[in-house]
Amino acid sequence: MIRTAVARALSIAGHPAILMPFAVTVAADTRGASPAVLYVAAGATIAVAVAIAAFSIVQVRSGRWTHVDASVPSERSQLNVVSAGLLLGAAALLWLNGQPLALVAGSAIAGALVVLAHLLRAAFKLSLHCAFAVYAASLLWPSVALVAVTLVLSAAVAWSRLVLRRHTPPEVVSGLLSGAVAGVGFNIIAG
């Protein structure tokens, strides 16, 4: 019982909608972004997270979904399409408004992670919780301390997804690896 409660708490703490706005804002700050860019970074990630949460809640309250976790394949597919569209749309808007490459790339790569999960959905359910946890850690580079703390959280999120039986070990490992690849790509692009 306690183990499940801890797993739920870690799953919530490591949820992409909670973790990514924090990571993006801290990353922009540690990279010396101006206050205006910090507001855009925080605002864009929070807006995407709120839109995804609102979509999920509306789906549940209308009876179209059984749970906001979107574990049913058709629910997950809808969530992936909406999430990818919002993230890629945010990247396009950031680019059109002349925002720094790191913000544009960060959002585009996040959208690409969701597209990857959507494309793999017939084979297995890639753990986006795990992917985004590792991706968030990579955004915090070069702060070794912040990366280390976030990687510990990533391991805890991976454990929670297994305990809650939301994913299988291969789905969790694939999520962790996908997030790492996305993070390396981000750091190459953003410099």
Q: Which of 17-31, 44-58, 155-169, 176-190 has the lowest mean pLDDT?
A: 17-31
Over residues 94-136, the pLDDT tens digits come to 999 999 999 999 999 999 999 999 999 999 899 999 999 999 9
Separation between Cα atoms, residue 38 and residue 56, nearest integer Å: 27
Q: What is the average per-residue pLDDT within 64-92?
A: 92
Distance of CA 14 to the CA centre of its chain: 9
Residue 2, amino acid: I
Task: Tell whether the model's pLDDT for residue 71 goes beyond 80.
Answer: no
Closest to 59 in 3D by CA, of 46, 72, 47:
72
Over residues 159-180, the pLDDT tens digits come to 999 999 999 999 999 999 999 9
Spell out the alpha helix ranges (H) of 31-168.
Answer: 35-61, 73-96, 101-119, 128-139, 144-163
Separation between Cα atoms, residue 35 and residue 77, nearest integer Å: 37
Is the Cβ–Cβ distance between 104 and 89 less than 8 Å? no
Task: Tell whether the model's pLDDT for residue 93 goes beyond 80.
Answer: yes
Separation between Cα atoms, residue 19 and residue 64, nearest integer Å: 27
Separation between Cα atoms, residue 33 and residue 51, nearest integer Å: 25
For residue 13, the tally of other CB atoms under 10 A from its CB is 14
Provide the token pair at 58.
């509306």
For residue 61, the tally of other CB atoms under 10 A from its CB is 10
The helix-helix angle for 101-119 and 73-96 (nearest 10°) equals 160
